[in-house]
Structure 1
Amino acid sequence: MNDWRIYRGAGLPHDGVRRLPPPPPWRDFSSRGPDTGAGTDPSAARRLGVLRRLVENHHPRPEEVEAVNAALYLRRPLLVTGNPGTGKSTLAHAVAHELGLGRVLRWPIVSRTTLHDGLYHYDAIARLQDVQLERAGGRQDVPRRPIGSYVRLGPLGTALLPGDRPRVLLVDELDKGDLDLPNDLLNVLEEGEYALPELERIADLEPQVEVLTDDGERAVVHGGRVRCTTFPFIVLTSNGERDFPAALLRRCIQLELEAPGEEQLTAMVRAHLGDDAVGDGDELLRRFLDREPGEVIAADQLLNALYLTQHAPRAERVTRDRLADMLMQPLDRPR
């Protein structure tokens, strides 16, 4: 059909949503990719592109490769800074995919995030409610649920579980967190261990407690403490909105990501949208590359524009230009 619009604003109900095309690959939450199996990351297809073989053409810059290897060799976190859309989060998924390290553990940081949120959560209220319900129902003969049923490890806590291979942990937008959070992380990142006081108190009675992990699996905690045997590959991302203490910086490998160049952009478009999108979207690619110095436009804005303008009628040049203008507005432009 010539009319690409699904919603027309006419106020008359219709079933046009049936014509809605498949979502962009990076927004397809039903897709799991062609090689998803046990231990793989279900979000990797969205992050790296459904045509995953083409992701291999996305050659990172030498300094990116060197920084990743330095973090792997030294067992240190990788602190990645850069403007939005430069691929900071994708780097963690790319490393996990190439090295076969399974699902990426993701810890998104907000202003209220504490270290405890990343380590574990003990649901004392649920445990108390279960005890009260047992007593109210007179069910003294029913075995009480073990304390481990009320403990769930967070992303950081799960990453530090003992294992033969490192887990990949993405601590996303650390600069959004409370001022104390970077300092609170220091001891855990340095020692690679942490305690669960609720389990330590009963370690003489229950030396081994089975708890739930961030993966939804079960793990055994010994003596109320978790100690890693293989330090995880940790990617700390920051948009550069604030400075971090020197104590954290010296414990990290630092990497500043630049905006992707033509080679990286072309590989990214191929990975998500295929070869045809590169030729059809050449004008938008050039517009992205020729933007004003210092103007911040994220790569995913370009992908959004390429995807949507493919579905707008090619005869309506004005419509396609208007969509591109809407989707590729500089992020640093005052509103």
Structure 2
Amino acid sequence: MANPQSTGTGDTGAAAENWWVFRGPAELPEPPPWRRFPASRRPLEAQRYLMSADEIAVVNAALHLRRPLLVTGRPGTGKSSLAQAVAKDLDLGDVLRWSVNSRSTLADALYRYDAVGRLREASLQRAHEPLRSPTRRLGKRTRQNPGIGNYLRLGPLGTALAADRPRVLLIDELDKSDIDLPNDLLVVLEEGEFEIPELARLPEHQQTAEVLVSGSRERIQVKRGLLSCSHFPIIVMTSNGEREFPPAFLRRCVRLDLRDPDEAKLRDIIRLNLGEDALAQADDLIGTFLDRAATQSLATDQLLAAVHLLVTGADLNHDELLSAVMHRLDEAFPA
């Protein structure tokens, strides 16, 4: 295959020829450790999470108090990864995730009811039901309408509350929510229960249903439309600090502010994820990252990405390539 210089892509400098994958001779390379899926295939070192003693103490306070942990910090400081670290360290299974945006509602996180699907299924069953004699039509129907449980699925928050053991729930980027959502969460976070009105309105003998949970085909039994938790979940809520939350909401949280890592911590992160050999080559990149981070919004994983490219053979002396990876996060893409 032709090299990049002969394909009209412009001067590429002295990058090692075997680094090229797109329009180059190389085969698709192995991804970085943190981009290997599923997570069970990742090296154990890549799953560890670096925290100071003070930060660990705050997380433990939230666990002892069974209060939600509200984690604030700039993008890339590891807020979302903290939930994964807690779940792994305490062996609590997969993290349940609720990614919040301006259209998110509390009902979305608790459960979903597919009323249209249930009506369509019932209509199809009636349409395909064999013709029967008038005598048989007066008797018991040979086919039952679909059970309501088939059309109810708990959301991530509902699943976390319904679990028979503690689960970790990540409520990501809560500051992007509608202004009323934090207040809507108050009762659920305080009481640990909620009602499914579609079940509660049914006759007494129909109010027990087997409903699906988030992320699997498993079911749990809900009686009389009320779901109460037996183990309060470990809730990690993240915020980029773009808004303030109501005092009543903050009172129910334990707060943790993740600061930008200093040079020593950046070196530890590189060593942990990419190894000593990568760290030995990263001095210039660390310096560049710290210089840029002093005036721009950057994320730690951008530095990791740059170091990974460097050790795989990329020529990062060209500012355009380095800036494509280590670009500022606090401005729009240039026109």
User: TM-score when scaled to structure 1?
Assistant: 0.84
Mapped pair 1:189 → 2:189: yes
Tell me how far 1:136 sits from its aligned partner: 1.2
Q: Distance in 2 between matches of 1:278 and 1:109?
A: 36
Mapping 1:1-335, distance limit 5 Å: 2=17, 4-8=19-23, 19-29=27-37, 31-34=38-41, 50-53=42-45, 56=48, 58-138=49-129, 141-163=142-164, 165-202=165-202, 204-216=204-216, 217-291=218-292, 293=294, 295-313=296-314, 316=315, 318-319=317-318, 321-333=319-331, 335=334
Tell me how far 1:99 sits from its aligned partner: 0.7
Q: Is the 8 A contact 1:51 1:271 kept in 2?
A: no
Q: Distance in 1 between matches of 2:52 and 2:316?
A: 36
User: TM-score when scaled to structure 2?
Assistant: 0.84
Q: Distance in 1 between matches of 2:110 and 2:73?
A: 27
Tell me how far 1:206 sits from its aligned partner: 2.8
Q: Distance in 2 between matches of 1:236 and 1:160?
A: 15
Where structure 2 has 5 or more consecutive residues not aligned to the other structure, the ranges are 1-15, 131-140
Q: Distance in 2 between matches of 1:64 and 1:145?
A: 50
Q: 1:69 to 1:318 in 2, by over 3 A?
A: closer
1:58-111 CA-partner distances (Å, limit 9, x unpaired): 541222112111111111111111100000001111111101111100000011
Q: Is the 8 A contact 2:18 2:26 kept in 1?
A: no
Q: Distance in 1 between matches of 2:278 and 2:86?
A: 26
Q: Distance in 2 between matches of 1:24 and 1:119?
A: 35
| SS of aligned partner of 2:204 | coil
Q: Distance in 1 between matches of 2:169 and 2:245?
A: 19
Q: Distance in 2 between matches of 1:308 and 1:142?
A: 62
Q: Distance in 1 between matches of 2:163 and 2:293?
A: 49
What one-letter code is carried by the residue in structure 2 that aligns with 1:51? P
Tell me how far 1:2 sits from its aligned partner: 1.2
Q: Is the 8 A contact 2:97 2:171 kept in 1?
A: yes
What one-letter code is carried by the residue in structure 2 that aligns with 1:33? S
Q: 1:235 to 1:306 in 2, by over 3 A?
A: same
Identity of aligned residues (%): 50
What one-letter code is carried by the residue in structure 2 that aligns with 1:275? E
- Tell me the equivalent position of 1:45: none
Deviates more, 1:243-252 or 1:59-68: 59-68
Where structure 1 has 5 or more consecutive residues not aligned to the other structure, the ranges are 9-15, 35-49
Q: Distance in 1 between matches of 2:142 and 2:277?
A: 68
Q: Is the 8 A contact 1:52 1:271 kept in 2?
A: no
Tell me how far 1:281 sits from its aligned partner: 2.0
| SS of aligned partner of 1:127 | helix
Q: Distance in 2 between matches of 1:292 and 1:174?
A: 25
- Tell me the equivalent position of 1:38: none
Tell me how far 1:203 sits from its aligned partner: 5.9
Tell me how far 1:222 sits from its aligned partner: 1.9
Larger Rg belongs to = 2
